[in-house]
Amino acid sequence: MTTLVFTHSACIKHEPGPGHPESPARLKAVLAALDAPEFAGLERREAPPAEQAQIARVHPANYVTMILEAIPASGYYGIDADTIVSPGSGEAALRAAGAVCAAVDAVMAGEASNAFCAVRPPGHHAEPSRAMGFCLFNNIAVGAAHAKAAHGLERVAVVDFDVHHGNGTQAMFWDDPSLFFGSTHQMPLYPGTGSVTERGIDGNIVNAPLSPMAGSAEFRAAMSERILPALSRFGPEFIFVSAGFDAHEADPLASLRFHEDDYAWATTRLLEVAEKSCAGRLVSTLEGGYDLSALANSSAAHVRALMAA
Ligand SMILES: [Zn+2]
DSSP-derived 3-state class of residue 46: strand
Distance CA 266, CA 260 (A): 10
pLDDT per residue over 8-56, tens digit each? 999 999 999 999 999 999 999 999 999 999 999 999 999 999 999 999 9
pTM for this predicted structure: 0.98
pLDDT per residue over 226-264, tens digit each? 999 999 999 999 999 999 999 999 999 999 999 999 999
Q: Where are the beta strands (DSSP E) in 24-113?
A: 43-46, 77-80, 83-85
- What distance in angstroms lies between residue 253's CA and the mean position of ligand 1's atoms? 8
Mean of the pLDDT values across residues 261-288? Answer: 98
Distances (CA, A) of 185 to 86, 88, 256: 29, 30, 9
At 1 the pLDDT is 73
Question: Strand pairing partners for 74?
Answer: none
- What distance in angstroms lies between residue 134's CA and the mean position of ligand 1's atoms? 9
How deeply is 17 buried, as exposed, middle or buried, from its count of CB atoms within 10 A (0-12, 13-18, 19+)?
middle
- What distance in angstroms lies between residue 163's CA and the mean position of ligand 1's atoms? 5
- What distance in angstroms lies between residue 280's CA and the mean position of ligand 1's atoms? 26
At 139 the pLDDT is 99
- Which value, in Å, is the radius of gyration of the alpha carbons in the chain? 17
Distances (CA, A) of 71 to 10, 118, 209: 14, 22, 35
- For residues 129 and 41, the answer to whether their CB atoms sit within 8 Å is no
pLDDT per residue over 183-224, tens digit each? 999 999 999 999 999 999 999 999 999 999 999 999 999 999
End-to-end Cα, the chain, rounded Å: 8
- What distance in angstroms lies between residue 244's CA and the mean position of ligand 1's atoms? 6
Backbone angles phi, psi at 153, to 5 degrees: -70, 145
- What distance in angstroms lies between residue 27's CA and the mean position of ligand 1's atoms? 15
Distance CA 58, CA 201 (A): 18
- Using a pLDDT cut of 90, give the percent of the chain over it: 99
- What distance in angstroms lies between residue 185's CA and the mean position of ligand 1's atoms? 9
Catalytically annotated residues: 125
- For residues 22 and 251, the answer to whether their CB atoms sit within 8 Å is no
- What distance in angstroms lies between residue 110's CA and the mean position of ligand 1's atoms? 31
Q: Give the type of residue at 281.
A: R
CB crowding 191-204: b at 16 or more within 10 Å, else e: bebbeeebebeeeb
pLDDT mean across residues, the chain: 98
Q: Give the type of residue at 39.
A: F
Closest CA to 262 of 207, 205, 211, 305: 305
Residue 301 has pLDDT above 80, yes or no: yes
